[in-house]
């Protein structure tokens, strides 16, 4: 994390999105806000996120006085400000005067002014206007003692298909393919459906009224959208970097709901390189009716581990809700105890903040019933406000945790290119490919066993890990495969599954079948993948037990590999389903079918035992309790969290101190429903 950030805010940040621009006609409300901030034990507020029409109500006419007062008032109570740039939603006068800033959709229809995030990232006018506004903000507030961070725009996403973006896409393609149109046609398999281009001007972005089935084309468009969004962001921050070089910069990443998988609109592995601190907006559907609380907690943990691993440092929870949202299919309130528990889980996996959307509920429009710290009753006595204050008091006792990290011997490789390409693939089953969800199925075994995991991307160095897990890596370049080979040869253990290594970085299949280097390190090759109907089932025998298989089963041609498990039914009964192979100083495993959770548990527990991978805390418990650790130089901070609806008995093998209550704990301790404790153990 940024050195400046740590020295200016050596504490856990607590607060959230504050929109005083909605309340300028209500000075009594603004005065109450300051009083309530102190009562709620909050200390940090993101301001100005959607304030452009208030900051600049007419072109060239600026009103900063209200923002001056807000920032001064927050500073007056010892609070911090994360100052946002307002480009997420522009004023109506700009859309009217400069229609080029309006986004064009994939059907080539120009959008009307309204909503948010509907601007063209290529528009020179919009780039000029955002940079102009950001320069004024940096000049005015860059030296304010309350400012600890810049929040650039808000939840970047979406694509524009206007003429400006078409030209930018063609320029991007020319640079990627070195102005060689044949190279592009080769990568996109141009002769298919007579889609060979003879001039760059013939290329358009994918569209439902044009072409959308050329997979290399689709993949390059998604890559372009990421790069163009980053380029827009880089234009936004020019004056901020120039005028406030010591103030760290973030922009809020997202997670797709309800399955809670990484946001698919942009490749965050690329975006992460250009920001100082990762932050993300998390809105899990707690208490839903399709999964257990522990299952949902596991999914939250996976994204936390991904966003922490992108930069190998603590992240920030930029948005969350203290109770409910207004946009889930069912907007259910958090039950007593869940707000503290879910907040502590974020901290346990690496967050240095609990920030909310929103500080105060809006009076009108679509977010007036979205959860907030301050409800329409303006009271500090309701349940949600008291829950927030409890989190605030807890975070105040965890100030020494801020800036600490966690180490891992296990890594999962997650790849946005792979996700896009696999979703595009017209094969297998559209309903059951579920790449990120498959990652969850394998990750669960480590989460349940309290094994720290880094969720890394293909740009990361693999060498520090004992175990690398790469489920459903459909798209794998020759370079990545070569790096896998080096990882295993040098002593690493690699686990791969069905539907892996089938296409290269252009989404072209490998001629001759499975790549030779993969065959070499796995000692076998997959032959064909059987896609099963939802009602179909098979079984696999492994270590004397039988496990259910569904969705996918790959038949294997074994050369030198050891057969670890076999299929029980169908035409491939008694043939290999899971193999292992020693290669160099390392080892590989290939799992040919989608197997039930108990298989993952048993299989990975065996791998962990073989590799001597152990929990970092000596705390014993039943399934549904999670134990996570953040490591400081002189002690470990151990978070013990009961994600069940039942009383749980937890056993502390060694003596620890409860950071919140000061109690000494040793031996058996009873945890109530949703209870969480943070304990400290000296090294």
Q: What is the CATH number of the domain that holds 577?
A: 3.40.50.880
User: Is 143 a member of any domain?
Assistant: yes
Q: How confident is the model at residue 557 (pLDDT cuts 50, 70, 90)?
A: very high
> Does residue 201 surpass a pLDDT of 80?
yes
Using omega within 30 degrees of 0 as the cis cutoff, is the peptide bond preceding 461 cis? no
Is residue 265 domain-shared with residue 298, that is, in the same domain?
yes
Is residue 140 domain-shared with residue 50, that is, in the same domain?
yes
pLDDT for residue 683: 85
Is residue 377 domain-shared with residue 490, that is, in the same domain?
no
User: Is 197 a member of any domain?
Assistant: no
Is residue 583 domain-shared with residue 633, that is, in the same domain?
no
* Residue 517: both structure tokens together: 């280097």
**46 phi and psi angles, rounded to 5 deg:** -90, 120
Average pLDDT over residues 70-95: 97
| 522 in Cβ contact with 561 (< 8 Å) | yes
Is residue 595 domain-shared with residue 648, that is, in the same domain?
no
User: Is 126 a member of any domain?
Assistant: yes
Q: Tell me the pTM.
A: 0.97
Is residue 253 domain-shared with residue 362, that is, in the same domain?
yes
Q: Give the end of a domain, one of 371, 401, 431.
A: 401
Q: State the CATH number of the domain containing residue 663.
A: 2.60.40.1180
Chain segment 437-464, per-residue pLDDT in tens: 999 999 999 999 999 999 999 999 999 9
User: Is 438 a member of any domain?
Assistant: yes
Cα-to-chain-centroid distance, residue 214? 28
> Does residue 507 surpass a pLDDT of 90?
yes
Chain segment 575-611, per-residue pLDDT in tens: 999 999 999 999 999 999 999 999 999 999 999 999 9
Is residue 593 domain-shared with residue 665, that is, in the same domain?
no
**Percent of the chain whose predicted confidence (pLDDT) is above 70:** 99
pLDDT for residue 171: 98
Cα separation, 82 vs 217, whole angstroms:
39
| 5 in Cβ contact with 248 (< 8 Å) | yes
Pairing verdict, β 545-558 and 593-595: antiparallel
Q: State the CATH number of the domain containing residue 233.
A: 3.20.20.80
| DSSP-based three-state secondary structure for 332 | coil
610 an active-site residue?
A: no
Tally the residues of the chain. Answer: 683
**374 phi and psi angles, rounded to 5 deg:** -105, 120
pLDDT for residue 10: 76
User: Is 173 a member of any domain?
Assistant: no
pLDDT for residue 9: 58
Residue linked to tokens 């080769």: 186
pLDDT for residue 1: 43
User: Is 584 a member of any domain?
Assistant: yes
Is residue 241 domain-shared with residue 329, that is, in the same domain?
yes
User: Is 374 a member of any domain?
Assistant: yes
pLDDT for residue 116: 87
| DSSP-based three-state secondary structure for 281 | strand
Cα-to-chain-centroid distance, residue 3? 24
> Does residue 2 surpass a pLDDT of 50?
no
Number of domains in the chain: 3
Q: How confident is the model at residue 5 (pLDDT cuts 50, 70, 90)?
A: low
Cα separation, 396 vs 81, whole angstroms:
18
| 203 in Cβ contact with 98 (< 8 Å) | no
| 293 in Cβ contact with 253 (< 8 Å) | no
Is residue 129 domain-shared with residue 231, that is, in the same domain?
yes
Q: Give the end of a domain, one of 549, 579, 611.
A: 611
Is residue 639 domain-shared with residue 565, that is, in the same domain?
no
What DSSP string runs through 537-565? -EEEEETTEEEEEEEEEEEEEESSPEEEE
> Does residue 282 surpass a pLDDT of 60?
yes
Cα separation, 243 vs 46, whole angstroms:
20
Residue linked to tokens 């073989």: 610
Average pLDDT over residues 351-368: 96
| DSSP-based three-state secondary structure for 583 | strand
Chain segment 129-172, per-residue pLDDT in tens: 999 999 999 999 999 999 999 999 999 999 999 999 999 999 99
Q: Which of 56, 155, 409, 675 is catalytic?
A: 155
Is residue 433 domain-shared with residue 377, that is, in the same domain?
no
647 an active-site residue?
A: no
Chain segment 416-432, per-residue pLDDT in tens: 999 999 999 999 999 99
Is residue 28 domain-shared with residue 151, that is, in the same domain?
yes
pLDDT for residue 492: 98
Q: Give the end of a domain, one of 583, 611, 639.
A: 611
Q: Which domain holds residue 351?
A: 3-163+221-401
Q: How confident is the model at residue 572 (pLDDT cuts 50, 70, 90)?
A: very high
User: Is 323 a member of any domain?
Assistant: yes
Q: Which helix (H) or strand (E) segment is 259 a member of?
A: none
> Does residue 3 surpass a pLDDT of 80?
no
Q: Which of 28, 58, 100, 319 is catalytic?
A: 319
Pairing verdict, β 635-642 and 625-631: antiparallel
Q: How many CA atoms lie within 13 A of 100 on its CB side?
A: 13
């Amino acid at each position: 994390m940024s050195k400046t950030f740590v020295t200016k805010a050596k504490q856990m940040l607590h607060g959230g999105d504050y929109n005083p621009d909605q309340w300028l006609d209500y000075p009594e409300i603004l005065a109450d806000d300051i009083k309530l901030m102190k009562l709620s034990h909050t200390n940090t507020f993101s301001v100005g996120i959607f304030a452009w029409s208030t900051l600049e109500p007419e072109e060239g006419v600026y009103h900063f006085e209200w923002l001056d007062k807000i920032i001064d008032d927050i500073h007056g109570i010892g609070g911090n400000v994360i100052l946002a740039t307002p480009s997420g939603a522009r004023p109506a006068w700009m859309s009217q005067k400069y229609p080029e800033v309006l986004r064009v959709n994939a059907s080539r229809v120009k959008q009307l002014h309204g909503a948010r995030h509907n601007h063209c990232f290529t528009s020179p006018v919009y780039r000029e206007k955002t940079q102009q506004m950001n320069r004024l903000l940096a000049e005015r507030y860059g030296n304010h003692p309350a400012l600890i961070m810049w929040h650039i725009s808000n939840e970047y996403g979406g694509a524009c298909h206007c003429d400006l973006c078409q030209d930018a896409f063609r320029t991007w393609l020319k640079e990627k393919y070195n102005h060689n149109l044949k190279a592009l046609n080769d990568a996109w398999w141009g002769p298919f459906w007579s889609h060979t281009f003879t001039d760059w001007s013939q290329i358009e972005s994918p569209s439902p009224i044009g072409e959308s089935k050329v997979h290399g084309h689709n993949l390059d468009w998604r890559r372009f959208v990421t790069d163009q969004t980053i380029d827009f962001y880089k234009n936004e921050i020019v004056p901020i970097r120039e005028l406030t070089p010591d103030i760290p910069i973030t922009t809020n990443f997202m997670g797709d709901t309800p399955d809670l998988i990484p946001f698919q609109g942009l490749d965050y592995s690329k975006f992460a390189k250009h920001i100082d601190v990762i932050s993300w907006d998390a809105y899990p559907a707690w208490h839903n009716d399709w999964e257990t609380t522990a299952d949902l907690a596991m999914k939250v943990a996976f994204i936390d581990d991904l966003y922490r691993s992108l930069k190998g440092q603590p992240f920030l929870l930029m948005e969350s809700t203290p109770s409910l949202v207004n946009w889930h299919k069912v907007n259910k309130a958090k039950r007593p105890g869940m707000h503290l528990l879910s907040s502590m889980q974020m901290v346990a996996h690496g967050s240095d903040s609990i920030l909310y959307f929103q500080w105060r509920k809006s009076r009108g429009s679509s977010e007036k019933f979205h959860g907030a710290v301050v409800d329409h009753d303006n009271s500090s006595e309701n349940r949600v406000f008291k829950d927030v204050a409890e989190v605030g008091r807890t975070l105040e006792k965890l100030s020494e945790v801020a800036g600490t990290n966690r180490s891992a011997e296990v890594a999962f490789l997650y790849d946005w290119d792979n996700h896009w390409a696999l979703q595009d693939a017209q094969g297998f089953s559209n309903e059951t490919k579920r790449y990120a969800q498959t990652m969850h199925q394998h990750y669960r075994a480590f989460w349940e066993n309290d094994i720290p995991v880094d969720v890394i991307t293909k740009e990361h160095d693999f060498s520090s890990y004992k175990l690398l897990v790469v489920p459903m890596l459909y798209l794998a370049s020759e370079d990545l495969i070569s790096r896998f080979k080096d990882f295993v040869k040098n002593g690493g253990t690699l686990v791969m599954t069905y539907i892996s290594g089938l296409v290269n970085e252009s989404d072209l299949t490998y001629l001759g079948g499975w790549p030779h280097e993969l065959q070499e390190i796995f000692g076998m090759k997959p032959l064909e993948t059987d896609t099963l109907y939802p009602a179909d089932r098979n079984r696999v025998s492994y270590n004397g037990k039988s496990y259910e298989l569904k969705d996918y089963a790959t038949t294997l041609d074994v050369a030198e590999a050891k057969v670890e498990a076999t299929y029980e039914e169908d035409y491939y009964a008694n043939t290999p389903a899971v193999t292992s192979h020693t290669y160099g100083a390392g080892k590989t495993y290939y799992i040919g079918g989608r197997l039930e959770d108990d298989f993952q548990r048993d299989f990975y527990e065996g791998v962990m035992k073989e590799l001597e991978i152990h929990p970092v805390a000596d705390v014993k418990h039943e399934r549904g309790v999670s134990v996570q650790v953040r490591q400081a130089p002189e002690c470990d901070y151990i978070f013990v969290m009961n994600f069940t609806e039942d009383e749980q008995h937890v056993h502390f093998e060694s003596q620890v101190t409860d950071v919140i209550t000061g109690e000494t704990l040793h031996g058996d301790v009873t945890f109530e429903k949703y209870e969480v404790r943070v304990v400290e153990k000296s090294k």
